[in-house]
């Protein structure tokens, strides 16, 4: 998991939210990020736990440099590159997001083995109510600790809520062993395993998006 200190400079998308300050990041320790779930989704991605950046802004995989959103788009899940603050739109693409451990921390290494095991138990109970077609755990070591047994990337030996489980690399920008192209290939294979058709890029993909997500209403908001 990447460091959660704000990065100076760099281009920002039109309408993108202000980056949190160091004080705001420090105050995000222990915060939670709402699940993005709905019944009958094709795939639920399960991260390890929110980083401080995600905890501060209240959206999944929010830190600049995380490859989740580019990999999701390039693998054909979405017709355009979504921003983290648009994570509430994911169910319209057949996708959901949750975490093994709910509390935000500066690094996944701060989580204990027992905390990850309890998180695995909670994940099983949580997804019984939603029954996704496929569950994807983002992180080999976290999966091994939470569910036990040998771990390789790809389909695991266990099922969760009747759904096959796939283990994928952590999309954090610090996971240099797996480059974006590697993630895209694995996300693409996952999409095909879940029976999701590849989405063609939107004609307006290159134009700045003006849509955001109202997390209070849990749906898209428009200016």
> How big, in percent rounded to 5, are the helix, strand and coil portions of the chain?
30, 15, 50
Q: Is residue 66 among the annotated active site residues?
A: no
pLDDT on residue 175: 81
- The structure's pTM equals 0.84
pLDDT at 16: 60
Backbone angles phi, psi at 148, to 5 degrees: 75, 170
Query: What DSSP character marks residue 146?
Result: H
Q: Is 59 a catalytic residue?
A: no
Per annotation, catalytic residue among 59, 60, 66, 99: 60
Residue written as token pair 């905390």:
115
pLDDT in tens, the chain (223 residues): 333 433 333 333 445 667 999 999 999 999 999 999 999 999 999 999 999 999 999 999 999 999 999 999 999 999 999 999 999 999 999 999 999 999 999 998 999 999 999 999 999 999 999 999 999 999 999 999 999 977 789 999 999 999 999 999 999 988 878 999 999 999 999 999 999 999 999 887 755 444 443 343 334 433 3
All structural domains of the chain, each given as residue ranges with its CATH number in brackets, are 22-194 (3.40.470.10)
Cross-strand pairs, 45: 97, 136
> What pLDDT score was predicted for residue 13?
42
Q: Are 116 and 100 in contact (CB under 8 A)?
A: yes
For residues 2 and 193, what is the distance between their CA atoms, to the nearest angstrom?
29
pLDDT for 6 equals: 38
- Say if residues 100 and 205 touch (Cβ distance below 8 Å): no
Q: Which H or E run includes 165?
A: strand 163-168
Active-site pick, 49, 66, 99, 170: 49
Residues near 92 by beta carbon (within 8 Å), at least 6 away in sequence: none
């Amino acid at each position: 998991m990447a460091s959660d200190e704000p990065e100076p400079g760099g281009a920002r998308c039109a309408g993108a939210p202000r980056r949190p300050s160091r004080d705001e990041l420090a105050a995000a320790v222990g915060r939670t990020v709402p699940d993005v779930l709905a019944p009958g989704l094709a795939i639920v991605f399960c991260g390890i736990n929110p980083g401080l950046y995600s905890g501060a802004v209240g959206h999944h995989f929010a830190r600049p440099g995380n490859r989740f959103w580019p990999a999701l788009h390039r693998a054909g899940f979405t017709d355009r590159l979504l921003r983290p603050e648009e994570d509430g739109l994911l169910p319209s693409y057949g996708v959901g997001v949750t975490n093994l451990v709910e509390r935000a921390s500066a690094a996944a290494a701060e989580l204990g083995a027992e905390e990850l095991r309890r998180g695995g138990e909670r994940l099983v109970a949580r997804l019984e109510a939603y029954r996704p077609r496929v569950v994807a755990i983002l992180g080999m070591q976290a999966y091994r600790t939470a569910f036990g047994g040998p771990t390789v990337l790809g389909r695991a030996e266990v099922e969760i809520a009747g759904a096959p489980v796939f283990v994928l690399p952590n999309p954090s920008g610090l996971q240099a062993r797996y480059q974006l192209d590697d993630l895209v290939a694995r996300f693409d294979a996952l999409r095909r395993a879940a029976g999701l058709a590849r989405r063609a890029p939107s004609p307006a993909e290159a134009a700045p998006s003006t849509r955001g997500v109202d997390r209070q209403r849990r749906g898209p908001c428009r200016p």
